[in-house]
Amino acid sequence: MKLRRPSFLPAPTPMFGLFALAGALGCSASGGDGGFVEPTHETTPFDDDTGDDPDTDVPTDDTDPEGGDDTRVDDAGDASVDGNEETSVDASDTAFSPDIASDVPVDIGTGPFTALELGSGAYHLCARNTGGTLQCWGYGIYGQLGDGAKATRTTRAPVPGISGVTSLALGSEHSCALMGDKTIQCWGFNSHGQLGDGTIVDRTTPTPLASLGGVEQIAAGASHTCAIVKGGAVDCWGSNTYGQLGDGTKVERDAPVSTGLTGVKQLALGLDHTCALMSDATVKCWGHNVSGQLGDGTVTSRTTPVTVSSLTGVSEVSAGDSFTCARKSDGTAACWGDDFFGELGDGTELDSSLPLPLSLAGVVHIYTGKSHTCAILGSAGNVQCWGYNSGGQVGDGTTLQRDAPIDIGLAGASRLVLGRYHTCGLMTTGRVMCWGNNLYGQLGDGSKTERHAPIVVP
């Protein structure tokens, strides 16, 4: 079933400054004045299910990019790490002038920063290092960097008091870590109970989720979190506006609740939908389905899992804002759901409620962000990306939207993570490369310079 893209886009709201925020439509790839606004769309990527639409209020450097409660911002404004001084910011000021965008790949590394794993939220990242220690950077006003502060960091900062981490899962504004003893610790934004600690209190440092043990895998969506426990069973918690917790209700949960599923091998969480790779290599999804992101041939939201139609032999699944992609064991891939910005990669901008095959072979991994998608191909680790590209998150040196995969000239990638308007890659050498919007320092290079091609994180 194909769903036609709306025939027009509403006129953008002008903003001051150059490349004021990732999310612009029709902006120049290098320099120029240009109003820069969030894309207007029928769904709000990486929103927190409050019903508020952050796309109507373009965030500035001191406000919540997800349109959250302004009272959560410290009175003094966002704390800047540059110079270790806290700077007061007028929350009513919507003008922002970031550094000039760069289209040229540069290696700015001053030391061999390497990582074992990366995780990305909407505007923040964390890296797992030797010994299971963590470093985080980017937007941190809700404590999602885990360092005890509510501050934005343009360079890596250690997460104190935590070690033995075996894997990461970052949501829009919260972060979770799977520990060596198969327990979970989470921190950051908690307005929907997405930290799972039985409260809706934000946490600035890792907080144990005491009610759940024996965890094999964790995954985080915009405002909900899920875990695979022993036997392939799935527990979820957090926002449940569209049934994304899979428990047959739309009741928000601040502690884990069972979905009733078993035999799950991998989880993928989007804005407000959830998908599971099953042991029989099929995929089940549940939650919001306005764009067909559940892949069952309908646009009916589901509070319990349904099987994705005509999809077998799956090895990996990834959930974006309102779309989903899967890699098959034969090296092919398919995507379904929202295609407003070409994120399905089929050369059109038509939503699909059924899986659409990509014209790619040799796919090793596939990854989804808010409205863009990337894949790693072949043993050489070549990267191709497509979809929304206002901040250079596709990485091809432009800000042109791409409706089909394009080679960005990067090889040697082992894993990728995609945020709202940025992309980062973990290379086979362990080095980290990032590109795209950098409004909150999420590229980790010590600046807020937008990058339209990969840079090495120092």
Which residue reads 């890792």 in tokens? 206
Please give the pLDDT value at position 336. 99
What are the per-10-residue average pLDDT scores of the chain (458 residues)? Answer: 39 29 30 32 38 35 41 30 30 28 40 90 97 98 98 97 98 98 98 98 97 97 97 97 98 98 98 98 98 98 98 98 98 98 98 98 98 98 98 98 98 98 97 98 98 96
Whether the Cβ atoms of residue 135 and residue 124 lie closer than 8 Å to each other: no
Please give the pLDDT value at position 67. 40
Please give the pLDDT value at position 288. 98
3-class state of residue 132 by DSSP: helix
Q: What is the CATH architecture of 2-456?
A: 7 Propeller (2.130)
Q: Residue 77 contacts by C-beta under 8 Å, 6 or more apart in sequence?
A: 62, 86, 87, 88, 89, 90, 91
Please give the pLDDT value at position 82. 32
CA distance 306 to 430: 38
Residue (of 34, 61, 4) closest to 447 by Cα position? 61
Please give the pLDDT value at position 322. 98
> For the whole model, what pTM was predicted?
0.81
Q: Residue 289 contacts by C-beta under 8 Å, 6 or more apart in sequence?
A: 242, 273, 296, 298, 299, 300, 301, 302, 353
DSSP collapsed to 3 states, 259-302: CCCCCEEEEEECCCEEEEEECCCCEEEEECCCCCCCCCCCCCCE
User: What is the C-alpha R_g of the chain?
Assistant: 20
